[in-house]
Amino acid sequence: MAVRQKERLPQLDIFRAIAILGVLHVHATSYAAGVQALDSPYYFILNFVNIFFKYGTPSFIFLSSFVLFYNYYDRSLDRALVSRFYGKRLGYILVPYVIISSGYFILSQLVNGLLGQPLMEHLSSFVRQLLTGSAYTHLYFVFISVQFYILFPFMLKLLQSSRFMVRWAIPFGLALQWIFIFLNKYEWQIPNKGSYAISYLAYYMMGAYVALHFDKFKGWLKASWRQMSSDHKRWTLLLWGYWLIVSLFHVTLWYYGRHDGIWVDSLWYELLWNVHTMLSSLVLLQAAFRLYDQASPSVVTFLIRLGEASFAIYLVHPLILAIYRRFRYYIPIDSFTYVVWIWGGLLVALFITWFIVVFGFRYVPFARLLLGSVPKSYSAAGRIKGRQVAGRVQKADT
């Protein structure tokens, strides 16, 4: 199979930046929206942020699939390709996952006063958490990514060999995902079902579909509103309109459940989350392309740099957020100051973590073992060469 040169897409780093901001919003408000601030007069704000921004993890999965199929679909799936593929993922994903899981496990044992337990009990507990992505609340995403990396060569071969599967990739993913949802609800009742890749198969297959039809999507993504055809304008309005409507329904349903105790069947929450976040992936993709073309160079550079560091920020930020939460002191939960304090946690988690990541990438040997692949702009070599402007100034080189 002939390999054609792929166009560089710096817009995807902007996508990553928006996705990591979604993750940070959810994690910063998780305790307040879920437990602490139910009686606050500002609870609607906290709940809105916590639910509306739940697009983060599904969007990362969509993008991961898009990047893999965009880069590998035209290549022959031979032993050398598979070996290189797993070699890279072992060093940049699996090793950081094991090391960072170890750190969070030890920290949680220390905080909970469990370090005195027998070594074999610690080891058994750690292995169980490692194999379920539960060493800390956010690590399920990395565990899911590892599962998809294991499955990728088989899925790639399937889509390379079947045009039917390419055409029906999204319905196929949705069908398997929802079969799992129904079986788990009525039969299996797996408590941590979100740690299994099949829970996100629709996003993965949608990423593959968009990648394999990118030549058709590219015109829509890169066109300004004035340049769009009437059909593209109509589809854009429908996409953004349905996204906003479903998002608001999703937020409202959770508000009535959490605040007023009015709960409905769990399948409604699954459905609204699924539609909300799938539409979000497409909205974010278009937004990333529009920002790259229309935002100021400084904004574009900021977002690209944030996107490049997003995986490392994802790994480290809960630690900073946990430390920040110990300094609330006497801020009344029913005051607007509490809302500001919650927002402050987001900013502290973002910028302190980002600083740690940059410092680690540039000055700490073997930082990639903990933080994953080192972006060129964050490496020591990149620092010596100086930062290149990453906005429209780079367009000529891409």
Burial of 38 (0-12, 13-18, 19+ CB in 10 A): middle
User: Hey, how many other C-beta atoms are within 10 angstroms of the C-beta on 238?
Assistant: 10
How far apart, in whole angstroms, are the C-alpha atoms of residue 343 and residue 257?
A: 23
Q: Which domain holds residue 212?
A: 11-397
Domain membership flag for residue 174: yes
280 φ, ψ (degrees, to nearest 5): -60, -40
Domain membership flag for residue 133: yes
pLDDT of residue 75: 83
Please count the structural domains in the chain. 1
Domain membership flag for residue 4: no
Domain membership flag for residue 2: no
- Residue 8 tokens read as 């560089």
Domain membership flag for residue 5: no
Domain membership flag for residue 331: yes
> Length of the chain, please?
398
How far apart, in whole angstroms, are the C-alpha atoms of residue 296 and residue 286?
A: 17
Domain membership flag for residue 189: yes
Q: What is the pLDDT of residues 68-86, one digit of tens each?
A: 999 888 888 788 888 888 8
Extract long-range pairs of 392-398: CB within 8 Å, 24+ residues apart. 392/292, 392/293, 392/297, 392/300, 393/297, 394/10, 397/8, 398/7, 398/8, 398/9, 398/10
Domain membership flag for residue 306: yes
How far apart, in whole angstroms, are the C-alpha atoms of residue 202 and residue 212?
A: 15
pLDDT < 50 stretches in the chain: 1-2, 384-398
Q: How many helices (H) and strands (E) does the chain have?
A: 18, 0
pLDDT of residue 5: 67
Q: What is the pLDDT of residues 86-106, one digit of tens each?
A: 887 777 788 888 888 888 888
